[in-house]
Structure 1
């Protein structure tokens, strides 16, 4: 596995960790542990994405904490003065690409509502600290609530090469999905034609060749009566592919209300994580492989 790291790319963020002892709302909890700060100051720390619960960023004031969870607060001074990357860490960097591990809750790119608190914006600022002319380009995306390995290009040329030859260059894309219910069949695959509704909902068409062909392979890692943890490999990379196919399988992704999830807030996030990305380097052709550990909440729920 490629593990080259630039020691000077960022300073380690100073953070505070607290274990939750009793059920209460997040803002109430934060006001107690940061009693020296004003209510507005605590709210702004939340809004900036500086609070992580277990393995996801949480910005909702009324998020219901459960005993045993760990709340991590990135110190304000650390975040502002040291230009710390919030909600992500760099796994690898060279002249052509940057590979990150993205936390659930961080947008990949800007939306109408959020322009700055995104992986792209933060990386753009990061590379421009070295040279104002530097830029970063999105090669592929992860949904806001999906965590894991994601790659960016440092030039338009590299971006185009990666996107135009995606099927040949990318050798492995493995996800883990925490889904509802016990998946009985140990391994299998789903094949369908995906279409998008007027309300931007993806769905499988019952008609052959009606839409974009999508194939998802899965294998059960561990399961109990309530939840199953699956290793999922994509043969095609369509929008919301895993989420639609898990719904088709009758086992929607945990926390995915958009695609059939019934469980309310089982892990406080979407049960989807990009575990492995392996590709041939666009310039050197060297085979690189990057991993992001499976979130602890996925493992404990499916034991």
Structure 2
């Protein structure tokens, strides 16, 4: 919580106290590893992930966390080895696929997008065979967002949205609704930033219906931030800023909010937003697109 609001020092202090109270638990060490990574203290991050694994060598979250930090450090060979270890200690198909997914993303971080897309396509097929809907969604979304062009991304997002329209065995209804909202919001983002106003408008209408029927705050935030991208396309920067501010958990939304605030010449607000954005640093698809804007099809 502290880290998300731009107060990592408070987060670290709180977690250090937690670690002192629970010395036999890997969780506080894991959390410290994550917080320190957001601040750019990668060595400290590795140290705490390692400490968590000393307490519990099978603690999957820290094993993946270790690999993620190595990815951000650019030590891709070591990262792949740690993802392989994560795969070996995974206790279910979902975790196995997640470790493989993060490992596949390494290709993009090292500048080999073509091989990354090839690996994600193969991984998508493996997830479908295993009928693991949560990772089918995550892999398909990542694959779409990392597509070679905006046309391919829009098409893949449309296919994924249809996949999520009906109940899926192994995925809760709440998770399915949030996943669908995430896909639709990304489709609006790409459509708006590609000048496809009709597609953006029709997708926002679909999101509006989903938000109204679900009454889920996360889905509502996705709807509002999607409207923000559309308002930006219309150069209505004031309304765009209001709507984009609804979602503080998406790096791509925060980046757009900062750009919008700069358009409004609210430079202090933009700097504050960019600070919050920095503390979402991680080995994720969204963070990759934020830090590699030339690869974002919706740039």
Q: What is the TM-score normalised by the length of structure 1?
A: 0.32
Higher helix share: 2
Higher relative contact order (CA 8 A, sep 6+): 1
Q: What is the TM-score normalised by the length of structure 2?
A: 0.32
